Amino acid sequence: MAELTDPLALQRYLHDRIVQSQSMGVAVAEVSPERVVLTAPLAPNINVHGTVFGGSASSLAMLAAWSLLYTLLKTHEIPAELVIHSSHVEFRAPIKGEFRAVAQAPDAQTWSSFEHMLSRKGRARIKVAVDVEFEGITAARLEGTFVAVSNA
């Protein structure tokens, strides 16, 4: 269980398996079954305007959501593959420096329904919202739908 809440272990996992996370400079600031916080610096994610490239903000948010669900599946000992099905990002403000993506766990009822469907059908969908923050404001928000497919 300790490795599931070890930020460095998750960071190594992401860097080893999702190479883009390493080139983006993604760091895991916090990981628990309740919340995942990822950070990234401006330099490797900069666009022509000197702000964070929208694709980098989207990617960090998607990685945070995926990491949260991955942690929840492992915590609940549910063997499943997890993929993104769809996402929508709303950009609200430019990001001019280090930024972070904060993914909060779904409420208990949503998670319970997801688990039930996964055990019953071997496949389930779940939505996760992630705030991309810069200097204390929500600069972007991703809403993603993920699909889990049972390995059992």
Full 3-state SS string of 67-117: HHHHHHHHHCCCCEEEEEEEEEEEECCCCCCCEEEEEECCCHHHHHHHHHH
What tokens appear for 60 in the block? 């960090």
Give the predicted TM-score (pTM) of the model: 0.95
Mean pLDDT over all residues of the chain?
96
Binned at pLDDT 50, 70 and 90, residue 75 comes out as very high
Residue 70 pLDDT: 97
d(CA 91, CA 144): 14
Q: Residue 86 and residue 64: Cα distance in Å, rounded?
A: 15
At residue 71, the pLDDT reads 97
Here the tokens at position 54 are 């929208």
**Per CATH, which fold does 2-150 belong to?**
Thiol Ester Dehydrase; Chain A (3.10.129)
**Polymer length of the chain:** 152
SS3 61: helix
Domains of the chain: which residue ranges?
A: 2-150
Q: How far is C-alpha 125 from the chain's CA centre? A: 15
Residue 2, pLDDT score: 57
